[in-house]
Chain A
Amino acid sequence: MSPTGTIVVAALLIAVSPARTAEIPQAERRSGYSFMAPDTQAIQDDDTTNPGMLWVLDGEKLWNNKAGAAGKACADCHHEARASIKGVAARYPAFDKALGRPVNLEQRINLCRTGQQQAAPLPYESRDLLALTAFVAQQSRGLPIDAATDPQLEPFVAKGRELFMQRQGQLNLGCTNCHDDNWDKRLAGSAITQAHPTGYPLYRMEWQSLGSLQRRLRACITGIRAQPYDYGAPEMVELELYLMSRARGMPVETPAVRP
């Protein structure tokens, strides 16, 4: 083959090979739900078989319980949750003016507890915090995710995106290497999904419990043999924020069920 021919072939190869580490086109975005077997989907679809609903029921009780030195319940300020907090979870993580950075739904609940109720903050992944978060998020079920639209959040979304793209850990992998580049493949028999956090907090069969997005992120980070960030770390919230911005427009599924 002539040298010119070789160059042409090489140029063609570059042209046809798909662009790597690019975000998933809008039309190809899928929820983790669509990767599940029909049996697992059925568990999520029926509110009397979805174990996540047990936490929602507990959360509803907590919503109406008075707590802390102020002797106030969530319902005393927010009243009927079905109306007052509809759509709220779809906008989180949101910018907190006092802190000057984004807070996620769990942190927002704890800010309300320490500020308004004068109660102790609930520990991350505790049953009560998951229950309240699930109850609040369930009020947005079916509504399109509308996070990261606030211009004040832009630098934090950018930081989250950077973390998502950053290779790290002993396996030297970034989130993007699986969730953007290989979401149509499988990892040890499990579907690699697209990192659209549509249903958190969600019930994972593997956990036998409800869990937060941060728990999921920490599991992934440990999986690539990197040091996970602590619960509530700014980096975690920035990652959450970026992931929610990827899923903008997709419906909230909380409480979702995943294998």
Chain B
Amino acid sequence: MSTIATTRPVFPFAAVVGQDEAKLALLIAAVDSSVGGVLIFGDRGTGKSTAVRGLAALLPRMRAIEGCRYACDPARRSTWCPDCLAAHGPMPPKTTMLPVPVVDLPLGATEDRVVGALDLEKALAQGVKAFEPGLLARANRGFLYIDEANLLEDHLVDLLLDVAASGENVVEREGLSIRHPARFVLIGSGNPEEGELRPQLLDRFGLSVEVSTPGDLPTRIEVVRRRDAFERDPVGFEASWKKSSDRLRRSIAAARGRLNDIVVPDAALERAATLCIRLGTDGLRGELTLIRAARAVAALDGEAAVGDAQLRRIAQPALRHRLRRNPLDEASGGTRVARAVDEVFAA
């Protein structure tokens, strides 16, 4: 509408030092969006948002129906928006390649911009009732990122949960009645010192990652050096990491291709079930996420089947937030999972 700040080059995902668990969780979400969202909680100044923003530049482009405001997937008619269904008959629609959206939900966003609302300009100038899609529409088939998720207004959280669960955004306001697909992977980050996340929101994330400031000097120095190098010459820095970034991008694409061929042997299912029973997680979502995430890890690793190694790697982020909570037991989730993993996998 008016000036748009030029987008600065982003710090490359591949250049993020350490934070292995967070990076793995984001890659899993990039490979298999059905794993559910990723929650990254941790100390100040650990570069939580750096990793997320870096992911955007890493994702392979996606094919979308040309001109569709929701970037509908031409291959999956069942997920099309009403506009596409109406416009395209049995003939395959024209398509275009688009970057996968990684949409920031900034603090202070108002509800009308999140869900979409009446296009004020058209309404005022032409008296036309038109729908202006919001952030949920823009995030369709991509990622919705909330930094400081624990500071988001409650009514927006409710709204997001509802849409994230149904994959559809229903707008009933200002005489508009619109529904459109809104399938996205929710990524939240925050600092636990600013307050805990509402338990309802916590459950909705597939993977929960805890990050902390690196404690050893060499790692800390490397973080600062890379940051400094990036700030002095963002373009040059990006270029110097291009090879690693390309390699990572290719491995995401390859893992996606392999995903459906990964075998999940009964033994792995049993391991997952035993682990969840041992931990007393509620419902089946834990097991499902554990298996799906392990499958994505196997795909990334180039393995043919899910084995103990993958389950072990992903058990903590998949389960630590699903334990029956003792609200006063801080961070004990991870320790409990680690203990259970050791017991189950030793057997």
A binds B: no
